[in-house]
Amino acid sequence: MSVRFSFLTLVLGLVFVASLNAHPFHASATEATFNRETGLVEIGVRLFPDDVELALTHFAGKKIVLEKTPATELDALLLAWLDTQLSFSPAKGQPGHLTWVGKEFKTDHIWLYVTCPLPGGLVGTTATNRVLRAEFSDQLNSVKIRDGDFRATLLFTDEKAKVVK
């Protein structure tokens, strides 16, 4: 029994150590809320920090470490990258560019906050979420939509755009 227990303890310990270096799934969670007073979509994107570092390193063409990059440089880089990954386009028109609001570091994730002009609201728009698709083929991106009483969740398993309806 003790050999069996030791082996099980060893296996569980190895799984735990491996999980410290990488997570077994790749996912982002985005919340997009339309503010009728401002005509802006207020967007929060929740990501794993190590995934963001990898994406920014690819995007910038140099090694990016979140904790070591000056805040103004990091904010500009995050906005430029996110603007290529996430968009909301009105039924007739081009997607608005994102405006940086800020970031929030948590224990195991990071929140990125941006806004996007969309005077007509979210219903009927076309949404695209390519966040981390270039880095991970199994990336799953969810977008929780709120526009007044309207609520929807869009799931992106590829780079195809989706109409909010």
Q: Low-confidence residues of the chain, pLDDT below 50?
A: 1-21
Every domain of the chain and the residues it spans: 23-163
Task: Say how far apart CA 6 and CA 8 lie, in whole Å.
Answer: 5
CA angle, residues 144, 147, 150, in degrees to nearest 5: 80
Tens-digit pLDDT profile for residues 92-138: 888 889 999 999 999 899 999 999 999 889 999 999 999 999 999 99
Output the pLDDT for position 22: 58
Please state whether the predicted TM-score (pTM) of the whole model is above 0.75: yes
Assign 25 to helix, strand or coil: coil
- DSSP result, 140-161: EEEEEEEETTEEEEEEESSS--
What the block records as the tokens of 135 is 């880095």
